[in-house]
């Protein structure tokens, strides 16, 4: 390869990568947590799964069995908003997809935890993010993960945290 072409490739490849990352970040979030029934349907398509619905007194549980074997449950309140999401299975789901518009808050809190304790990222212990307006708990090990995320202020009246599993 001649020198001029190599020089151009040195700049074009990183620029293209940055452009692709920017386009990925600019896409609208498929809001699950805080989303509505439409977001649950979008999650089902993205997860390539089947969905079952179970009505409860104050909410409806939409359980998606993903093609990967992971089960995602989305808790839809009577007002039509997803107030909680749980998952379990051999693989972690895409947290950006699961948390939707709450992903940035989760990500910022996680980065702060790692900044306080650099070994936190490598440690094999549960992840707990307990922020105002968002609670996320993730645990497990390869081929056996589980977790839940919920917005405390969106919990329907009378719903106990033990119900969100």
Q: What is the pLDDT of residues 14-71, one digit of tens each?
A: 333 333 333 333 333 344 899 988 888 888 888 888 999 999 999 999 999 988 899 9
Contacts of 80 (CB under 8 A, 6+ apart): 36, 37
pTM to 2 decimal places: 0.76
Determine phi and psi for 51, rounding to 5 degrees: -125, 140
- Residue in the structure block whose two tokens are 């799964």: 49
Radius of gyration of the chain (CA): 19
């Amino acid at each position: 390869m001649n020198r001029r072409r190599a020089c151009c490739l040195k700049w074009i490849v990183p620029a293209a990568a940055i452009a692709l990352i920017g386009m990925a970040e600019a896409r609208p979030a498929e809001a699950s947590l805080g989303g509505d029934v439409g977001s649950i349907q979008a999650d089902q398509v993205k997860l390539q799964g089947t969905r079952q619905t179970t009505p409860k007194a104050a909410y409806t549980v939409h359980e998606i069995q993903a093609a990967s074997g992971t089960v995602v449950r989305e808790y839809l309140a009577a007002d039509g908003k997803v107030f909680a999401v749980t998952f379990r299975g051999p693989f972690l789901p895409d947290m950006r997809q699961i948390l939707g518009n709450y992903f940035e808050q989760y990500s910022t809190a996680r980065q702060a935890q790692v900044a306080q304790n650099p070994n936190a990222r490598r440690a094999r212990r549960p992840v707990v993010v307990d922020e105002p307006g968002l609670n996320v708990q993730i645990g497990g090990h390869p081929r056996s993960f589980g977790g839940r995320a919920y917005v405390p202020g969106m919990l329907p009246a009378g719903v106990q945290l033990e119900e969100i599993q």
